[in-house]
């Protein structure tokens, strides 16, 4: 009798463990994930159980129907100017440096290959710092386009700045390649001037949800995130995914950049006996939060997106970072087309290895160079050429654009081991 | 920052306003203190409306009448005196015109055109919106680098560094009595022209989900702000309280139920008149009467396009500027005007989702890329990507 009961329980456990395996499996009888908005797995489609919504947006690509395709460039140009908005100071300065270096290398490559047109005009980068007051990105974009005559913009990095930039694009009528933004809503507006070249936090959330709930079988998950716009917008898709998998997060609690007293929060987390804690925030404050978790004796699995493990995370978290599982928007082990040569040139030119930010910035600049060479110096036609792109094989890997011209390529996972980022695929 | 509409400030404003009017009457023409205050006080002005508990949703017995079927279009361009044919905004007063373009502000008064540019002191050459204070004959101009006040031949500019403007990228400007409302890339700024003081609203001191403001509408004791990614927020000016209107499904990629709220979170423009609040988005439009929402799209309702950049309301009708043409929506009927390659205009009338009539006109708006409309009782001015168009109804009164 006792053996029979054990056998039944074992069978039930096996059956239960098989359920989540099916969650991300290929769907039957419906659109494959590649055709669904955001490459959303079937189980994570919003309101999937209540029938078809009244309207689905983003079914068709944004189109610019205004004038300007007939306009010719000024005859006396000395270069092809491109505006770059990047963080040059503050917590994101390192990312801004990688971004600018990636674009610089792309333009140096393009100029070595003849620049633009029969006069071999060089591609020239005009950089502005986005890390000033909130909203300064709009002012900078007006200056770059109206005063300096740039043909396109690359940037920004911080999503609040990128949103400001995106809104003014409709007035400036200039293409914008965003190579670093992670906010899923950044491209959800139909403004026909923006492309995002890197995968966003939607893809990171899907991958983390798959890993946490399916692969690792966790059920008691706590979300510990930055009390910021980045923390709020970044975690929405993860929370939605958890809820749609019938594993809603047990607790969502927040931290500030300079938090030092963690006692109350850690007591609340410990009381919930979590299997896993998901962190979402900037590297240094997130490292401090991870350290506080481990110091409180909470030994559950820990996860987060790529931006959390940027420069300063490991220094801030110390040994507590061990085992932290993170997403990454490209695979630095293999890269994409020309990765090894790009990496070698980058190391030689700048004395450091390129990260994902540098790689996507390089790809964005390469796409812009190719589009400009194809259609000439006309902002609307450059925009049209960029919106024709469906798949680009860049140094970062294969870039897959959806209807909103957002890169929906899957992200990979990695973990921290002995103070190093180890990429697992 | 202070709450301009708290009860205490209302009393203060009322007292100050009364004193200001009395002083202005006593010392008409004497200039002292802030230029704004004197310039404003020297003109006869209606008193600020402080009547308690006006219902912004009360429908009138009869709505203001307007023609919605136009049969003739004429377009003005550079040859007629405009500095550019990319028209961004327009206001008409009698035969006078105030026209925003990407190359400055064009003014036609007494049949004569003049152009204000950066060289004339305008904040920036790209004009995003124009507002008029007819009582003081003042024109307020929103640009991509601040706002300018044009009055009596003088141009005064307000920027983020020189005033209480919260950001220099200004998408909309609106005059409401003594107040000038500015929707900017980082919040809403309000200039009280009587005191010269500014009030700022953003995500830190209001209900705004995001601070990115696109346009302003005002009604009885209410102000509405169109937010990028935050639907619409409403300020009750009696007590400073806020309320927000959001799409209840919480998803950007879909609209779960058709008429359950704003059609999308990204609001590109709003307009209010006679108890009806209209929302423009890049996904269609919505209308709110205080109790019910109703949404409209190109496929379901016959809108000229779903990418709506501007709306203007008058009575129970709403004029639509989309990237696929210009149109008018009234009740369940939408009239859409589309320029054909041969220069004629295709007019489509859709009622209750069914196409009921099509017409072809010999003339058409300058372009289907429409950024602004300004309707009047029997005509309409249309800002297009290829000139400023005047639509009239010679037969369809």
Q: How many Cβ atoms from other residues are within 10 Å of residue A63's Cβ?
A: 14
First to last CA, chain A: 46
Domains and CATH numbers, chain B: 7-392 (2.130.10.10)
Average pLDDT of chain A to the nearest whole number: 92
Dig out the tokens for B23 from the structure.
């002083």
- Looking at CA atoms only, how far is residue B380 from chain A in angstroms? 21
Residues of B in contact with A185 (CB under 8 A): 229, 252
Query: Is the confidence at residue A175, as pLDDT, over 70?
Result: yes
Q: What is the pLDDT of residues A354-380, one digit of tens each?
A: 999 999 999 999 999 999 999 999 999
Mean pLDDT over A380-403 rounds to 97
Give the closest-approach CA distance of B101 to chain A in angstroms: 11
Cβ burial B14-46 (10 Å sphere, 16+ → b, else e): eeebeebeeebeeeeeeeeeeebbbbbbbeebe
Determine the pLDDT at residue A425.
81
Phi and psi (nearest 5°) for B165?
-65, 130
- Interface residue of B185, B204, B228, B353 to substitute, partner A, most A CBs within 10 Å: B185
Which residue among B124, B229, B255 places its CB closest to the CB of A54?
B255
Mean pLDDT of A74-79: 95
Q: Which of A44-58, A126-140, A185-199, A386-400 has the lowest mean pLDDT?
A: A126-140
User: Which of B253, B266, B323, B383 has the most A C-beta neighbours within 10 Å, making it the best mutation to test the interface with A?
Assistant: B253
- Confidence (pLDDT) at A5: 59
* Contact (CB<8Å) B144/A168: yes
Chain B positions in Cβ-Cβ contact with residue A159 (cut-off 8 Å): none
- Of A303, A294, A290, A298, the C-alpha closest to A272 is A298
A93-107 pLDDT per residue, tens = 999 999 999 999 999
Which chain A residue shows the shortest CA-CA distance from B309? A170
Q: Do B254 and A53 touch (CB under 8 A)?
A: yes
For residue B8, the model assigns a pLDDT of 43
> Out of A56, A65, A142, whose CB is closest to B253?
A56
Say which of A55, A65, A190 has its CB closest to residue B324: A65
Mutate to test the interface with B, among A36, A135, A181 (most CBs of B within 10 A): A135
A46, A168, A185 ranked by CB distance to B254: nearest: A46
Q: CA nearest B325: which of B245, B382, B251, B244? A: B382
Cβ–Cβ gap A163/B128 under 8 Å? no
Q: Which residues of A touch B (CB under 8 A)?
A: 37-38, 46-47, 50, 53-58, 62-67, 134-135, 138-139, 142, 146, 163-164, 167-168, 170-172, 185, 188-191
Least Cα separation, residue B229 to chain A (angstroms): 8
pLDDT of residue A258: 85
Q: Nearest Cβ partner of B253 from A57, A171, A172?
A: A57
* Minimal CA separation from B227 to chain A, in Å: 11
- Of A27-36, A126-135, B293-302, which gets the smallest average pLDDT? A27-36
Q: Give, for all 397 residues of chain B, the pLDDT tens digit.
A: 444 444 444 434 443 444 443 333 333 323 333 333 333 333 444 445 455 689 999 999 999 989 999 999 999 999 999 999 999 999 999 999 999 999 999 999 999 999 999 999 999 999 999 999 999 999 999 999 999 999 988 999 999 999 999 999 999 999 999 999 999 999 999 999 999 999 999 999 999 988 999 999 999 999 999 999 999 999 999 999 999 999 999 999 999 999 999 999 999 999 999 999 999 999 999 999 999 999 999 999 999 999 999 999 999 999 999 999 999 999 999 999 999 999 999 999 999 999 999 999 999 999 999 999 999 999 999 999 999 999 999 875 4
| Nearest residue in B to A38, CA atom | B253
Closest CA to A406 of A258, A237, A244, A190: A190
Task: With beta carbons under 8 A apart, name residues in chain B contacting A38.
Answer: 253
- Show the tokens assigned to A196: 């995002």
For residue A54, the distance in angstroms to the closest alpha carbon of chain B comes to 5
Question: Given pLDDT bands bounded at 50, 70 and 90, which one contains residue A260?
Answer: confident
What is the average per-residue pLDDT within A241-248?
96
Residue of A66, A67, A167 lying closest to B228 (CB–CB): A167
Q: Given an 8 Å threshold on Cβ–Cβ distance, is B186 in contact with A58?
A: no
Structure token digits, residue A219: 């059920």
Q: What is the pLDDT of residue B10?
A: 42
Q: Buried b vs exposed e over B146-178: b needs ≥16 C-beta within 10 Å?
A: bbbbbbeeebbbbbbeebbbbbbbbbbbbbbbb
Domains (range + CATH), chain A:
80-199+335-400 (3.40.50.2300), 202-328 (3.40.50.2300)
With CB atoms and an 8 Å threshold, state whether A67 touches B168. no
Tokens representing residue B356 in the block: 């009921």
Phi and psi at residue B20, to the nearest 5°: -60, -45
pLDDT at B51: 58
Judged against a pLDDT cut of 80, whether residue A85 lies above it is answered with yes
According to the model, what pLDDT value does residue A18 have?
43
| Per-residue pLDDT at A346 exceeds 80 | yes
CB atoms within 10 A of CB A173: 18
Angstroms from A218 CA to nearest CA on chain B: 26
Per-residue pLDDT for A25 more than 50?
no
Contacts of B258 in chain A (CB under 8 A): 54-55
Of A46, A170, A171, the CB nearest to B251: A46
């Amino acid at each position: 009798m006792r053996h029979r009961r054990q056998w039944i329980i074992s069978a039930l456990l096996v059956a239960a463990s098989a359920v989540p395996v099916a969650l991300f499996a290929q769907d039957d009888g419906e659109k494959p994930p590649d055709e669904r908005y955001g490459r959303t797995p079937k189980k994570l489609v919003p309101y999937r159980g209540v029938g078809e919504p009244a309207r689905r947006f983003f079914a068709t690509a944004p189109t610019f129907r205004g004038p300007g395709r007939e306009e010719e460039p000024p005859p006396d140009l000395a270069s092809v100017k491109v505006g770059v908005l990047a963080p040059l100071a503050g917590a994101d300065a390192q990312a801004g440096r990688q971004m600018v270096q990636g674009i610089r290398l792309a333009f140096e490559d393009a100029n070595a290959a003849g620049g633009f047109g029969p006069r071999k005009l060089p591609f020239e980068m005009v950089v502005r710092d986005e890390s000033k007051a909130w909203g300064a990105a709009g002012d900078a974009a007006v200056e770059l386009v109206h005063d300096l005559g740039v043909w396109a913009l690359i940037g920004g990095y911080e999503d609040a700045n990128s949103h400001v930039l995106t809104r003014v694009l409709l007035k400036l009528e200039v293409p914008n390649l965003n190579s670093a933004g992670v906010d899923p809503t950044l491209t959800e507006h139909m403004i026909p001037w923006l492309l995002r070249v890197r995968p966003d936090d939607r893809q990171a959330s899907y991958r983390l949800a798959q890993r946490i709930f399916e692969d690792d079988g966790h059920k008691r998950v706590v979300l510990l995130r930055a009390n910021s716009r980045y923390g709020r917008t970044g975690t929405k898709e993860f929370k939605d995914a958890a809820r749609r998998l019938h594993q809603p997060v047990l607790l969502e609690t927040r931290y500030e950049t300079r938090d030092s007293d963690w006692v109350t929060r850690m007591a609340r987390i410990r009381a919930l006996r979590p299997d896993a804690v998901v962190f979402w925030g900037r590297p240094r404050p997130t490292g401090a939060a991870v350290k506080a978790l481990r110091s409180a004796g909470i030994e559950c699995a820990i996860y987060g997106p790529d931006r959390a493990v940027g420069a300063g995370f490991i220094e801030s978290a110390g040994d507590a970072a061990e085992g932290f599982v993170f997403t990454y928007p490209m695979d630095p082990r293999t890269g994409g087309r020309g990765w090894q040569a790009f990496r070698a040139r980058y190391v030689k030119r700048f004395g450091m290895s390129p990260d994902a930010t540098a790689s996507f910035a390089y790809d964005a600049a390469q796409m812009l160079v190719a589009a400009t060479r194809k259609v000439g110096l006309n902002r609307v036609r450059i925009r049209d050429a960029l919106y024709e792109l469906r798949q680009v094989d860049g140094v970062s890997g294969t870039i897959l654009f959806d209807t909103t011209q957002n890169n929906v390529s899957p992200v990979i996972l990695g973990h921290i081991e002995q103070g190093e980022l180890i990429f697992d695929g | 920052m202070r709450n301009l509409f708290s009860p205490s400030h209302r009393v203060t404003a009322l007292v100050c306003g009364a004193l200001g009017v009395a002083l202005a009457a006593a010392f008409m023409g004497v200039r002292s203190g802030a230029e704004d205050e004197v310039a404003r006080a020297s003109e006869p002005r209606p008193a600020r409306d402080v009547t308690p508990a006006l219902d912004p949703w009360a429908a009138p017995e009869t709505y203001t009448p307007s023609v919605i079927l136009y049969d003739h279009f004429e377009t003005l361009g550079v040859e007629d005196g405009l500095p550019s044919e990319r028209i961004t905004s327009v206001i008409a007063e009698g035969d006078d015109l105030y026209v925003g373009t990407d190359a400055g502000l064009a003014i036609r008064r007494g049949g004569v055109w003049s152009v204000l540019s950066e060289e004339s002191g305008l904040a920036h050459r790209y004009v995003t919106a124009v507002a008029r204070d007819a009582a003081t004959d003042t024109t307020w101009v929103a640009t991509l680098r601040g706002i300018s006040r044009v009055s009596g031949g003088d141009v005064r500019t307000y920027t983020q560094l020189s005033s209480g403007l919260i950001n220099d990228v200004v998408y909309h400007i609106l005059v409401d009595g003594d107040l000038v409302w500015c929707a900017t890339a980082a919040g809403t700024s309000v200039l009280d022209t009587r005191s010269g003081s500014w009030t700022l609203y953003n995500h830190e001191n209001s209900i705004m989900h995001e601070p990115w403001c696109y346009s302003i509408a005002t009604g009885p004791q209410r102000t509405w702000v169109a937010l990028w990614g935050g639907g619409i927020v409403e300020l009750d000016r009696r007590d400073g309280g806020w309320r927000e209107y959001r799409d209840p499904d919480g998803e950007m990629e879909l609209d779960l139920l058709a008429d359950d709220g704003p059609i999308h979170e990204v609001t590109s423009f709003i307009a209010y008149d006679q108890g009806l609040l209209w929302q423009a988005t890049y996904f269609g439009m919505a209308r709110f009467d205080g109790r019910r929402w109703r949404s409209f799209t190109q496929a379901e309702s016959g809108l000229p396009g779903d990418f709506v950049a501007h709306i203007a309301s008058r009575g129970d009708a709403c004029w639509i500027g989309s990237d696929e043409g210009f149109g008018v929506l009234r009740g369940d009927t939408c009239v859409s005007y589309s320029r054909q390659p041969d220069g004629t205009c295709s007019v489509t009338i859709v009622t209750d989702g069914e196409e009921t009539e099509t017409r072809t006109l010999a003339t058409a708006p300058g372009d289907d890329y429409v950024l602004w409309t300004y309707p009047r009782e029997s005509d309409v001015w249309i800002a297009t990507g290829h000139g400023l168009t005047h639509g009239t109804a010679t037969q369809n009164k």
